[in-house]
Structure 1
Amino acid sequence: MRRRTIATTTVLFVCATTALTACSGSGSGTAAKGPAAPRTPAAANPAAAASTGPYADLTGGQILTNSLKVTRQATSLHLKADVADPKEGATKMDLSLDSKGDCTGTIAQGKDTIGIIKTGKTVYLRPQGTSKWTKTNTASADGKDLASVCDLNNFIGGFQGEDTAAAKGATTKVDGRPAIVLTEKDGAESFTMDVATSGKPYLLKMVTVGGDSPGILAFSHFGEPVHAVAPPRSSIAAA
């Protein structure tokens, strides 16, 4: 069983965003409630879907292992996440990241939301409600922590699926893209994974219920350019 590797990777990513919020100077210290337990897709006839649907010749474990392998090879993607953390509350992310380490998007933790742009060795942050971006270099201590948030390879590199006992379920659609539903349970945690059945078999969505970090991860825009561009000089706060 290697599913916990994904959950652990997600927790580490959330921890990195904690450092990011602290560096922005906007931390309120108020923890929000975690995301409500999501409803997983109901299969009208999972057995029939497993025997006649997409990837009919593969087991659920084989489908997931292959999907995670393909997803790890993505050079860029768009991530939307809503993950609970027992110490920091809910963390919501809407980020575009690439394998060069560039990213752009927003991260919300508790009542705080900040914008982030990383291009090359420079990171820009803008807390919600402010008009100016702060600027830091990835060579600094804070900059290194911030850079880890934009490290696509660090995030998806932990997605391992060997020895998985995932079960095949019904077919579904994720943002209009056909997918097959896989389910797995590991102790107190239950996982639902949606794997694309058209084009490359990317992992499109993962829902975790129970455990220390329940939540939702959704992936899209694989291989598309990440437009991480430095803000105008007039929008950057003086050092």
Structure 2
Amino acid sequence: AAPAEASASASGPSPDEPFAGLTGAEISERALKATTGARSLRMTGSVPDDESGGTIEIDLALDRRGDCAGTMGMDGQGKAELIKTGDTVYLKYDERFLRAQSKGEPQADTEALVSLLAGRWTSMSADGADAKEMAGFCDLDKLLEDAGGSGDDAPTKVTRGRATTVDGKPAFTLYETDGSTRNTVYVATEGKPYLLRFESGSKQEPGALSFTGYDEPVPAESPAGEVLDLDGLDGTSA
């Protein structure tokens, strides 16, 4: 048994390496615990949109209260500014975003929508049907639950990678294997072991998200000036 133990020790991580003595699964567990304990964070990157088959670009700061502020886009075709504070969702669409979302609609309807909404702040109840999808992106608890994986979503194997950096911050890579897909996770090695970045290895659902701004205040405030109440309009939705 002794030679085998010596061999395993020699091939394992050196004492100077981050998370020395911990398996990939143990590091992943620590990262999940730290990240799910965060009061707020900012996520930037892209994720697949199951409904359209396209890609959603995200830059959002969000907190445990469900408040958020940032921007969202679809396939590089314009952007929508998003703020959720309390029970209200505020959105401001640019013209390019509106035209892309109105593809296939009658030209007159598209022009009317652009004329009404482009560059204007709008508001909707977060509980309304039209706002629920957008408000869902502000649900930090759900986001972190999805990031952790559970049941069928949990990775089948987590292995150690190597020391690296993410946006100048010291990090350590982990490889999460689920069937034939291998995702890469970057964990902070200074301070709390927060999740810094996730890169999907799936060809069917590619995407990558960076996580910063842990426990920082989220600048979610109601827009100043005129705001168009979409709940008061019949049949108007982007």
Please give the TM-score of this superposition, normalised by the length of structure 2. Answer: 0.74
* 1:149 maps onto 2:137 in alignment: yes
Choose which of 201, 206, 210 in structure 1 pairs with 2:198.
206
Structure 1 equivalent of residue 13 of structure 2 = 50
Structure 1 equivalent of residue 94 of structure 2 = 128
Higher relative contact order (CA 8 A, sep 6+): 1
Structure 2 equivalent of residue 165 of structure 1 = 157
How big is each residue's C-alpha offset from its partner over 1:145-197, in whole Å with a ceiling of 9 and x where there is no partner?
Answer: 33212111111123336775322121111111111111132223111111000
Residue 75 of structure 1 aligns with an amino acid whose one-letter code is: R
* 1:116 maps onto 2:116 in alignment: no
Q: Do the aligned partners of residues 158 and 71 (structure 1) sit closer, same or farther apart at CA in structure 2, a change above 3 Å counting?
A: same
Map 1:1-239 onto structure 2 (within 5 A). Answer: 50-52=13-15, 53-85=17-49, 87-110=52-75, 111-129=77-95, 130-160=118-148, 165-234=157-226, 236-237=227-228, 239=232
Determine helix, strand or coil for the equivalent of 1:50: coil
Residue 74 of structure 1 aligns with an amino acid whose one-letter code is: A
Unaligned runs of 5+ in 2: 1-9, 96-117, 233-238
Looking at structure 2, the residues matched to 226 and 49 of structure 1 have their Cα atoms a distance apart, in angstroms, of 41
Residue 191 of structure 1 aligns with an amino acid whose one-letter code is: N
Determine helix, strand or coil for the equivalent of 1:172: strand
Structure with larger Rg: 2
Percent identity over the alignment is: 39
Pairwise CA distance, 1:205: 0.5
How big is each residue's C-alpha offset from its partner over 1:71-129, in whole Å with a ceiling of 9 and x where there is no partner?
Answer: 11111000012123463311110000000000000111122421100011111111124
Determine helix, strand or coil for the equivalent of 2:147: coil
- Across the aligned residues of Structure 1 and Structure 2, the Cα RMSD in angstroms comes to 2.1
Looking at structure 2, the residues matched to 166 and 205 of structure 1 have their Cα atoms a distance apart, in angstroms, of 15
Q: Do the aligned partners of residues 132 and 65 (structure 1) sit closer, same or farther apart at CA in structure 2, a change above 3 Å counting?
A: same
Looking at structure 2, the residues matched to 188 and 211 of structure 1 have their Cα atoms a distance apart, in angstroms, of 10
Determine helix, strand or coil for the equivalent of 1:233: coil
Structure 2 equivalent of residue 17 of structure 1 = none
Number of aligned residue pairs: 192
Determine helix, strand or coil for the equivalent of 1:166: strand
Unaligned runs of 5+ in 1: 1-46
- Which runs of structure 1 show a deviation greater than 4 angstroms over 4 or more consecutive aligned residues? 161-164
